[in-house]
Amino acid sequence: MTFAALVLVVKAEEVDPLSDALLAAGALSVSCEDANVEPAAETPHFDESGESVWARVKLTALCKVQPEPGQLLLRACDLAGIAVPIHELRSVPDEDWVAKSREQFAPIRVSEHLWIVPTWRAPPEPDAVNLVLDPGLAFGTGA
């Protein structure tokens, strides 16, 4: 399946209503990042207040190519009660996202004879104690 990324920059006060409207209109996901810096220069903020620390926010909505993403944006802006912002539509290549996400997990040596090993990897030391688990699913953390 082919996907598209709808990328737009909005004011901080438009982020929540437009994000919710994009999801209601059919977007599969919406991510937010500071529109004024490159991702490598971003500073993480952990704020419980719900107020944005960025004046301008780049929203990226992942959506299916059909129905047309431009129509999805029009409907979302209508739902949110805001004007359609300048936006860009990018193609998102079809990839095996499960395999891609697994690339980040490698076996971890905890001690001389104890390893934590993802289920899809071979233990580096088969004779050691190997705790084999699915990262992201262990212990109910969701992380």
Domain that holds residue 123: 100-140
**How far apart, in Å, do the first and last CA atoms of the chain sit?**
27
pTM exceeds 0.85, yes or no:
no
Question: What strand order describes the sheet that includes 29-34?
Answer: 29-34, 56-64, 3-11, 87-92
Confidence of residue 2 (pLDDT cuts 50, 70, 90): confident
Of 19, 25, 94, 98, nearest to 60 by C-alpha is 19
Does residue 11 sit in the same domain as residue 46? yes
Confidence of residue 19 (pLDDT cuts 50, 70, 90): very high
Does residue 89 sit in the same domain as residue 114? no
Count of structural domains, the chain: 2
Range of weakest confidence among 8-17, 67-76, 95-104, 119-128: 95-104
Does residue 54 sit in the same domain as residue 113? no
Does residue 127 sit in the same domain as residue 89? no
CATH label of the domain that carries residue 83: 3.30.70.120
Q: Please give the DSSP secondary-structure letter assigned to residue 9.
A: E
